[in-house]
Structure 1
Amino acid sequence: MLIVMRGLPGSGKSTWAADRVADDPRATAVVSRDHYRMMLHATSSPVDGIMEDEITELEADAVVRLLARGHTVIVDDTNLPHRRVREWLGLAEGCGVAWRVEDLTDVPLETCLERNRHRDRQVPEDLIHDWHARYIADGRARPKVWEPIPGGFIAAEVGAPYTPVPGTPAAVLVDIDGTVADRFSADGAELRGPYDWSRVSLDRPRAAIVDHVRMAAEHMKVIFLSGRPETCRADTLAWLDEHVGVPIEGLYMRPAERPQDRDSVVKLALFDEHIRTRYTVHSVLDDRAHVVAMWRRLGLTVLQVAPGRF
């Protein structure tokens, strides 16, 4: 089961969650954005957008894995926007487990403020007032019925666990930008903008990764998956031929109908369409953290070639 806590800081969410864990510590787990912030950044306060996205991925990944192991999982966050609750509920349904919302938004604002004043790590009071005004005041706190968003907020990034089809050829999946290709020179000068697809031929090959791909090509198929648009296919193929120089089993790129989708969403769709039932995937070379997390949720072995927090 997934239990989604909801309420202001000081409403009693963490106390409620701790009591449930005490009742059955072997079968109950708590995940919290604050825990991840403390582990990663030594603060319980929100950090910048990129880091918050990374925390979202880590938290969701932990929930999926714990649910798969049969735990009751409590999400101990404020979860004040209705959409965030609905996304968690959709994730639960996508994992095939029951859910419920433990809503503490009826705890009076003054009670929350008073409790907050006695906490070791206080939340700024103006922030609590702001959240109350935006999400709770004037009867906006609870919908009559919680309607899950199918699949949840990582719906398009949570595919079915990968099981190779016996007898299919072995393959390595390789990302391009930031993996085999670098848009910066060896001394750090920018060779092209991140979305300047007309100049991908200027990219610098990353020698160590190219060597790895060449060694892999001696034993298995090499398939390139890229978030680049199809408009630069010809230049990309020419660059791979010149700088990597291995037989290419396939080059699958961002479809025109997915211009704004995250790379993880695009690559999962490409994987399901072209690779899942046709190859035995040995490993994946990629750099972006959210894409790496998606591959690992499938059960694939990933060699992350750079921090990739973007």
Structure 2
Amino acid sequence: MTIPRLKHGIELIDYGISTTLKQPSLCHCLVGCPGSGKSTLAHDLVRLGLAQTIVSTDQIRQQLHGDPSIQGSWPEIEREVLAQFKAALSHGIPVVYDATNAVRSRRLDLLRKLALITPAPSIWIAWHLITPLQICQQWNQQRDRQVPDAILEQMSQSLMAEPPTSAEGWKAVLKVDMSQLSQLNRGVSDVAALIEQLQPWNSASISSSSTSL
């Protein structure tokens, strides 16, 4: 099966999807520094109809503490994250997880816990936002909640050392430089075309690895 070359800086680096599952929920985990464009991409995926709800750690912090800048207790935040996942996935609702997800151990722990609490089948794609650090710093300055540059640099280094890979359990890992997407629509038409190829219920199965578009 030939996958079309996409524009706007979207690169498929790993995928392998079979047609054995019956209509599982196709969900999306965003991985990237603050200011890399994760929330923009999350809302694009919902607008495209590729997901129906967003689970956001910033929104959960706002809900729990009245301020997304208050980091709070991770176990408390994680409980709410998993509760929202369970509520959505038990009804077959595809989810976007909007968080930095910069630490590999937490990504692995997330997939392990999701498998335990959500009996309904789901397929997870990891979106690795590789927006350059300098751009992240510029966009960070335009945000209501700004993250210190030292934290941005630390997360950037963490992601360079431990980028998401299919070996972690993702059915696909997509690399996206949000600064290369068109300002008007963020390349959403290309994202839609790519997801169409990844649908596990397509008539043709997809099986490959280490492929660049």
> Does TM, normalized by the shorter one, top 0.5?
yes
Task: Answer with 1 or 2: which has the greater Rg.
Answer: 1
Say whether residues 1:146 and 2:171 are aligned partners: no
1:118 aligned residue: 142
Cα pair 1:2 1:92 within 8 Å, conserved = no
Q: Show the 5 A alignment for 1:190-205.
A: none
Q: Give, in whole Å, the separation in 2 of the partners of 1:70 and 1:145.
A: 23
The Cα shift of 1:22 comes to: 1.2
2:55 aligned residue: 31
Say whether residues 1:86 and 2:86 are aligned partners: no
2:123 aligned residue: 98
Secondary structure of 1:83's counterpart equals helix
Q: Give, in whole Å, the separation in 2 of the partners of 1:148 and 1:83.
A: 12
Q: Give, in whole Å, the separation in 1 of the partners of 2:28 and 2:123.
A: 9
Q: Mark the CA change 1:18 to 1:54 in structure 2 (over 3 Å): closer, same or farther.
A: same
The Cα shift of 1:42 comes to: 1.5
Secondary structure of 1:123's counterpart equals coil
Cα pair 1:34 1:44 within 8 Å, conserved = yes
After superposition, the CA RMSD in angstroms is: 2.1
Structure 2 segments unaligned to the other structure (5+ residues): 1-25, 171-213
The Cα shift of 1:92 comes to: 4.2
Q: Mark the CA change 1:3 to 1:143 in structure 2 (over 3 Å): closer, same or farther.
A: closer
Q: Show the 5 A alignment for 1:252-267.
A: none
2:43 aligned residue: 18
Structure 1 segments unaligned to the other structure (5+ residues): 150-310
1:108 aligned residue: 132
Amino acid corresponding to residue 82 of structure 2 in structure 1: A
Q: Show the 5 A alignment for 1:139-218.
A: 140-142=161-163, 144-148=165-169
Say whether residues 1:64 and 2:86 are aligned partners: yes
Q: Mark the CA change 1:86 to 1:108 in structure 2 (over 3 Å): closer, same or farther.
A: same
Any runs of at least 4 consecutive aligned residues in structure 1 with deviations exceeding 4 A, and if so which? none
Cα pair 1:4 1:85 within 8 Å, conserved = no
Q: Mark the CA change 1:144 to 1:100 in structure 2 (over 3 Å): closer, same or farther.
A: closer
1:225-271: CA deviations, max 9, x gaps?
A: xxxxxxxxxxxxxxxxxxxxxxxxxxxxxxxxxxxxxxxxxxxxxxx
Aligned length, in residue pairs: 142
Q: Give, in whole Å, the separation in 1 of the partners of 2:87 and 2:109.
A: 17
Cα pair 1:31 1:75 within 8 Å, conserved = yes
Q: Once the two structures are aligned, what percentage of the paired residues are identical?
A: 30
The Cα shift of 1:72 comes to: 0.7
Cα pair 1:30 1:73 within 8 Å, conserved = yes
Q: Give, in whole Å, the separation in 1 of the partners of 2:164 and 2:77.
A: 27
Amino acid corresponding to residue 83 of structure 1 in structure 2: S
Cα pair 2:42 2:98 within 8 Å, conserved = yes
Q: Give, in whole Å, the separation in 2 of the partners of 1:103 and 1:127.
A: 18
Q: Could you say which structure has the greater relative contact order, defined with CA pairs below 8 angstroms and 6 or more residues apart?
A: 2
TM-score by length of 2: 0.61
Q: Mark the CA change 1:73 to 1:12 in structure 2 (over 3 Å): closer, same or farther.
A: same
Amino acid corresponding to residue 114 of structure 1 in structure 2: Q
Match of 2:95 among 59, 73, 78: 73
Say whether residues 1:8 and 2:67 are aligned partners: no
TM-score by length of 1: 0.43
